[in-house]
Amino acid sequence: MDEGRTSKGVGKSCILVIVVAGVERFAFKGVASNLVTYLTDVVKLSNSSAAKTVNSWCGVTFMLPLLGAFLADSFFDRYSTILASSFLYVLGLVALTSTAFVWESIPSSKASCSFLLLSLLIISLGQGGYNPCLQAFGAEQLHNDEELPLGKKDQISDVKKSSFFKWWYFGICTGSLLGVSCMSYLQDTFGWGLGFTIPTIAMAISILPFSCGNQCYIHKEPKGGGNKRIQDLIQSIKATASKMISGKITLSAKEVVELELEEKPLCNQKFEYTKSLTEESNNNVASDAKAILRLLPIWAMLLMFAIIFQQPATFFTKQGMTMKRNIGKEFLIPPASLQSAINISIILLMPLYDKIVIPIMRIITQDDKGINVMQRMGIGMFLSIIAMAIAAFVETKRLEISRRSDLPLSIFCLLPQYIILGISDVFTVVGMQEFFYTEVPNNMKTMGMALHLSVFGVGSFLSALLISVIEFITSDKDGKHSWFSDDMSEAHLDMYYWFLALSSALSLMLFVHLCKNYSSKNAGLNQNCK
């Protein structure tokens, strides 16, 4: 066996993929974390419009992986999809950087705004193929213990899979930390041209080591038949959904989908083999459809968590801009840099998770595994509710001080909500990645990663829609003052945060109920969320 592919650890190829993923996160966060500031200060959008633009862009970015995953699984191999998407990704970053350099010399117009949105769309298209394929491609490198006994192979595979997802998240959070902390400072201090150029160069450079590692990668050919598969899948989803509504089938992974076939006379022998293959294909597609449908209730309950996680890059950052940010006489803390507290929390907690968190959970749950994946996601959702409650209290205090005094509240008062969100991220997001990757069929692993990302995509769209609805309901007769007023002393973000906390609490209760009735296709993944 290749020394880089031993059963111990995740292997050299996995490490290379994790490093490349970290660089991509540096580039993405270097743009996304402070984009709301760029839109309000340079493009001159209102607070609500800027937040909706960022949320909508994130929604497109996280939804396109569904398309990229299908193309990679059905038509192309993951390695080729990653390379092609990388070049598209870099093209979008170059276009975005060019807008920053020319914006000052060209007056703001519909044409310039359209070009800005086009550059963001190209970045989203690049990420659509890049993110789900890269993570699934990295996990694919773990399947290399064929000569081991079956039981031992499964045990090692589970350990390596769990280790991979944790270190994958550690890697991308390290990249995110550098992108948030360094780029937000450079953008606020030295300008947006330099602040966008560095992420562009970093992303372009990351293509080289990834392509050079081709010799040590494990490659799997796509299943093919994309056009036929998607038609069969859509038909099977419709049929399976109809049966679910009428109560003819349940969502247990252990049951086999029963196809209602009409009884027909025996065919000639020369057609029997073709008929057998067709029925087997239909059964496989129907099973794939059912596997996806049974995940949707859990998927839906995670949407409120995704909405909450849009706040640091939007309204948390706008809060920070109104608070006391100076250290000494000259240095001003970039508001977006506080997002680094999330990444620092993740980086510090991840290595301690197995050594401290799991032993404590073993004592609490009286289970040798500590907590299962479903429980892990539930804990993270609960912590996100706590974070929003703290954010609401802090915002109430900020409003009180701003209305009666000229001395603003310190920006460091926002740190607790960032830190708790980071801790919740460790539990929920890593659990989501492992859950969706494990629960989909083996031929749809890239789609599993795309499903995980689509939670944040739909959550981003819902966040933008929620802002529009609340803005419409809470605006005065002139349509100017609402919970999201541009004058932060007149805004009511505290009410918005309480609304998110209460909605997420309801979502968590439904999530717990669904977990109690959920049967995993992998008995070792979770028994029940009790």
What pLDDT does residue 271 have? 44
- pLDDT, tens digit, for every residue of 50-105? 889 998 998 898 888 878 877 777 777 788 888 889 999 999 999 999 988 877 66
Q: Is the pTM of this model over 0.85?
A: no
Superfamily name and number for 11-144+152-224: MFS general substrate transporter like domains (1.20.1250.20)
Angle of CA points 345, 196, 419, to nearest 5°: 15
Higher pLDDT, 240 or 473: 473
451 contacts 32 by C-beta, under 8 angstroms: no
The two structure tokens encoding residue 53: 């633009």
Percentage of residues in the chain with pLDDT exceeding 90?
Answer: 22
Fold of 282-520: Growth Hormone; Chain: A; (1.20.1250)
- pLDDT, tens digit, for every residue of 387-430? 999 999 999 998 888 877 777 888 899 999 999 998 998 889 87
Q: Which residues contact 160 (CB under 8 A, 6 or more apart)?
A: 7, 9, 10, 142
**What distance in Å separates the CA atoms of residue 388 and residue 420, rounded to the nearest whole number?**
9
* Helix (H) or strand (E) run with residue 254 in it: none
**CATH 1.20.1250.20-classified regions of the chain:** 11-144+152-224, 282-520
Higher pLDDT, 522 or 44: 44
DSSP 525: T
Neighbouring-strand partners of residue 324: 410
- pLDDT, tens digit, for every residue of 185-221? 898 888 888 999 999 999 999 998 888 877 777 766 6
Provide the residue type at 243 as one letter. Answer: K
- pLDDT, tens digit, for every residue of 168-182? 878 888 898 899 888
Neighbours of 255 (CB within 10 A): 11
Percentage of residues in the chain with pLDDT exceeding 70?
Answer: 76
Residue with tokens 């038509």: 75
DSSP 331: E
The two structure tokens encoding residue 116: 């800005």
* Residue in 104, 89, 98, 129 with CA at minimum distance from that of residue 116: 98
What is the residue-averaged pLDDT of the chain? 78
Q: How far is CA 417 from the centre of its chain?
A: 19
Q: Which residues contact 450 (CB under 8 A, 6 or more apart)?
A: 65, 66, 68, 69, 70, 132
